[in-house]
């Protein structure tokens, strides 16, 4: 497949058409399943994850870099229609993303590396001591107050091992040491943006939503979390809990399903409990997954100087910029447009030595008003505009469940 034209800007580079692929379904169309994977309490559209955020975030400086002319960008990777574009299994999906998308995104991150400190596409390491997790709560019963840590029930609760659970790929800080061997000595090698790959004939968001897995409030219906189509969501969500990452994704050669997570409940006041442990428990009990879908076919037909809509490469590139700065999960997030560039951590400096930037919320988070995933109606996300908090934030775009499939403000070439 010919992609010989050399791009003259990062924006042009990231909005080029993806290769056309042929999906050849295998006999086995079921997904990997594990009942110990966690379940989001609610799933809602990521309302402010809109492509035009690129023109406003960081006071417009990122957008200036995107459309800066005459960048010395490489030619597009050479793709073979007869070999690279035949998708028969997950390994083919991974190979396509590694050869095409990762190569393009990595090259496009290079020019903004020093100024914005993005994450780079490389599987990260799990933080030491994070091999065990609480069991998923039993569903189908009303939610209760958290168990007292000193109670007999809490002490007898069986932990689940996460030692064998690894995302297919991920991201680390751009100035992490090479090779990344011991996160205790290189905190920059910790996972920041876990990625899960699936063949489109095994999973798609379109099929997930068409099967009405979620109720009108974004909560999983009775026993719907055990359905095959729910398993990739649970798997990707568990990766974020495992690594305490706010961003994650499920990637196929038909779409990129990107999301951000946080606990739905308020931050506990108990200072005796480890902060990371409180976040993990909050995500396990009742977490929110805000999602957005980007079709593989999305691209810009003309050489635009504005961000018309997301393409897979443009969205993943942007998420690497975000994850390079603020990647840890937190209790609430301000508007995405208020994101700030974090101080860059040098190798050998512990992450605990850096004082986190605090977010200030002047208004109550509307979602937190209802702790149950079955509240009267779906409510809007926090729209307060404040300064940043400890690991900074994001929110998102579009509207209904299939907004990214049904609304298009740009031309898709044939």
Q: Give the chain's mean pLDDT.
A: 81
Given a cut of 80, whether residue 384 has pLDDT beyond it is no
Domain-located, residue 412:
no
pLDDT for residue 120:
96
Given a contact cutoff of 8 angstroms between Cβ atoms, the answer to whether 393 and 333 are in contact is yes
The residue written with tokens 């690991």 in the block is: 391
Q: Round to whole Å and give the CA distance between 160 and 164.
A: 11
Q: Round to whole Å and give the CA distance between 222 and 232.
A: 18
Evaluated on CA atoms 173, 178, 183, 186, the torsion sign reads negative
Domain-located, residue 69:
yes
Q: How many residues does the chain have?
A: 414
Domain-located, residue 150:
no
What token pair was written down for 373?
Answer: 């995933």
pLDDT interval class at 367 (50, 70, 90)? low
Question: Going by DSSP bridges, is the β-strand pair 171-173/159-161 parallel, antiparallel, or unpaired?
Answer: unpaired
Domain-located, residue 306:
yes
Residue 190, strand partner residues: 125
Mean per-residue pLDDT for 81-90? 96
Domain-located, residue 407:
no
pLDDT interval class at 391 (50, 70, 90)? very low
Half-sphere exposure of 75 toward its Cβ, with a 13 Å CA cutoff?
A: 8
- The Cα-based distances of 362 to 58, 134, 377, 383 in angstroms read 22, 33, 23, 10
The closest alpha carbon to 340, from 319, 360, 320, 326, belongs to: 326
Given a cut of 90, whether residue 126 has pLDDT beyond it is no
pLDDT for residue 14:
96
Lowest mean pLDDT among 137-146, 251-260, 361-370: 361-370
| Domain total of the chain | 1
Domain-located, residue 30:
no
Domain-located, residue 198:
yes
pLDDT-above-70 percentage for the chain:
73
Given a cut of 90, whether residue 121 has pLDDT beyond it is yes
Task: Residue 316: give the domain boundaries.
Answer: 11-23+38-129+170-179+188-334
Reported as a single tens digit per residue, the pLDDT across 105-114 is 999 999 999 9
Reported as a single tens digit per residue, the pLDDT across 344-359 is 655 444 444 433 343 4
pLDDT for residue 140:
57
pLDDT for residue 183:
61
């Amino acid at each position: 497949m010919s992609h010989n034209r050399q791009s003259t800007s990062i924006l042009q580079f990231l909005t080029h058409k993806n290769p056309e692929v042929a999906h050849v379904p295998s006999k086995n169309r079921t997904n990997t399943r594990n009942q110990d994977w966690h379940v989001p309490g609610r799933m809602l559209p990521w309302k402010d994850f809109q492509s035009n955020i690129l023109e406003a975030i960081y006071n417009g400086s990122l957008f200036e870099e995107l459309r800066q002319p005459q960048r010395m960008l490489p030619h597009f990777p050479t793709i073979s229609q007869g070999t690279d574009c035949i998708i028969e299994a997950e390994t083919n999906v991974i190979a396509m993303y590694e050869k095409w998308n990762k190569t393009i995104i990595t090259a496009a991150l290079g020019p903004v590396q020093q100024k914005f400190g993005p994450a780079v596409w490389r599987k990260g390491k799990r933080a030491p001591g994070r091999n065990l997790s609480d069991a998923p709560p039993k569903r189908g019963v009303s939610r209760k107050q958290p168990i007292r840590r000193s109670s007999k029930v809490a002490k007898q609760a069986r932990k689940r091992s996460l030692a064998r659970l690894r995302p297919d790929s991920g991201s680390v800080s751009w100035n992490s040491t090479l090779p990344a061997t011991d996160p205790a000595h290189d905190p920059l090698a910790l996972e920041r943006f876990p990625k899960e790959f699936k063949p489109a004939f095994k999973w798609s968001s379109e099929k997930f939503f068409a099967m009405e897995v979620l109720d009108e409030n974004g909560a999983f219906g009775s026993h719907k979390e055990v359905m095959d189509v729910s398993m990739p969501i649970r798997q990707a969500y568990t990766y974020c809990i495992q690594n305490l990452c706010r961003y994650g994704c499920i990637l196929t050669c038909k779409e990129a399903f990107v999301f951000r997570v946080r606990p739905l409940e308020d931050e506990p006041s108990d200072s005796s409990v480890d902060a990371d442990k409180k976040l993990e428990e909050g995500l396990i009990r009742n977490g929110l997954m805000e999602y957005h879908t980007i079709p593989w076919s999305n691209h810009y037909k003309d050489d635009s100087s504005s961000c018309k809509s997301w393409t897979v490469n443009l969205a993943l590139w942007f998420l690497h910029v975000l994850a390079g700065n603020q990647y840890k999960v937190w209790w609430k997030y301000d508007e995405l447009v208020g994101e700030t560039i974090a101080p860059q951590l040098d190798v050998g400096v512990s992450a605990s030595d850096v004082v986190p930037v605090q977010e200030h919320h002047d208004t109550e988070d509307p979602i937190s008003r209802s702790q149950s995933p079955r509240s009267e109606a779906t409510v809007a996300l926090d729209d307060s505009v404040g300064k940043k908090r400890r690991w900074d934030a994001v929110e998102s775009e579009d509207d209904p469940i299939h907004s990214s499939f049904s609304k298009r403000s740009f031309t898709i070439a044939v």
